[in-house]
């Protein structure tokens, strides 16, 4: 396993916080939506199975470019996928997905081909990309790490608040 640290700067960290408040969508959902866009731009479009910390079972993450789904549609799809994953029973025989996503959650240990661990330190959002060097080359993960902030900007600047995804956010 290898790691690439790609922290968000203070502007992007503040953008995420502001979008969470304005859109009424959890930061976890915004970042997961940005991951889907980053995967679409780097690896290709489709649906990937993601184990999300704190949710039961794997969550299907749509990886589509901006031309196929608006920012608002992307965030609504992530919200619905997470809501469905929370209530669905986990099947023990199902193997874990190849991707793990963690936002402010405890570390379960390295066991996925690609893991994105997000946490806060010194007021900034820190992104640690862990990857199995047998499954991913460094350039691909570096490209994912470069695309995620761009996708974040796209989502936070183009999405509009939707009543069906509004949540009570607080820090």
* pLDDT given for residue 65 in this prediction: 79
The torsion angles phi and psi of 118, rounded to 5 degrees, stand at -120, 135
In a domain, 164, yes or no: no
Residue-number span of the structural domain to which 22 is assigned = 2-159
pLDDT digits (tens, 9 = 90+) for 48-88: 999 999 887 799 999 987 677 889 999 999 999 998 865 44
CA atoms of 146 and 149, how far apart (whole Å)? 6
* pLDDT given for residue 86 in this prediction: 52
* pLDDT given for residue 170 in this prediction: 44
In a domain, 165, yes or no: no
Q: What is the DSSP letter of 96?
A: P
In a domain, 168, yes or no: no
In a domain, 143, yes or no: yes
pLDDT in tens, the chain (171 residues): 999 999 999 999 999 999 999 999 999 999 999 999 999 999 999 999 999 998 877 999 999 876 778 899 999 999 999 988 654 444 444 556 899 999 988 777 778 999 999 999 999 999 999 999 999 999 999 999 999 999 999 999 999 987 665 544 444
CA atoms of 132 and 114, how far apart (whole Å)? 6
Number of domains in the chain: 1
Number of Cβ within 10 Å of residue 1's Cβ equals 12
* pLDDT given for residue 110 in this prediction: 72
In a domain, 64, yes or no: yes
* pLDDT given for residue 92 in this prediction: 46
Q: CATH no. for residue 22?
A: 3.30.559.30
pTM here is 0.88
Pick the closest to residue 130 from 34, 38, 5 (CA basis): 5
Q: Between the CA of residue 106 and those of 55, 56, 98, 99, what are the distances in Å?
A: 13, 15, 18, 16
Reported residue count of the chain is 171
CA atoms of 125 and 118, how far apart (whole Å)? 7
In a domain, 171, yes or no: no
Q: Identify the residue whose tokens are 């509004």.
A: 166
The upper half-sphere exposure of residue 81, i.e. CA atoms within 13 Å in the direction of its Cβ, equals: 25
In a domain, 29, yes or no: yes
In a domain, 58, yes or no: yes
């Amino acid at each position: 396993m290898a790691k690439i640290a790609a922290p968000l700067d203070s502007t992007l960290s503040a953008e995420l916080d502001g979008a969470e408040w304005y859109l009424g969508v959890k930061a976890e959902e915004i970042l997961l939506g940005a991951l889907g866009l980053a995967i679409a731009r780097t690896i290709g479009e489709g649906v990937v199975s993601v184990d999300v910390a704190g949710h039961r079972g794997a969550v299907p993450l749509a990886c589509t470019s901006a031309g196929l789904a608006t920012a608002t549609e992307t965030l609504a799809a992530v919200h619905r996928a997470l809501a469905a994953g929370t209530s669905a029973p986990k099947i023990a025989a199902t193997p874990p997905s190849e991707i793990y996503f963690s936002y402010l959650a405890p570390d379960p240990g390295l066991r996925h081909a690609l893991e994105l661990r997000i946490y806060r330190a010194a007021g900034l959002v820190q992104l640690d990309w862990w990857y199995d060097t047998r499954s991913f080359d460094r350039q691909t993960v570096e490209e994912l790490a470069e695309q995620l902030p761009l996708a974040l900007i796209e989502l936070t600047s183009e999405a509009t608040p939707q009543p069906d995804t509004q949540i009570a956010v607080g820090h």
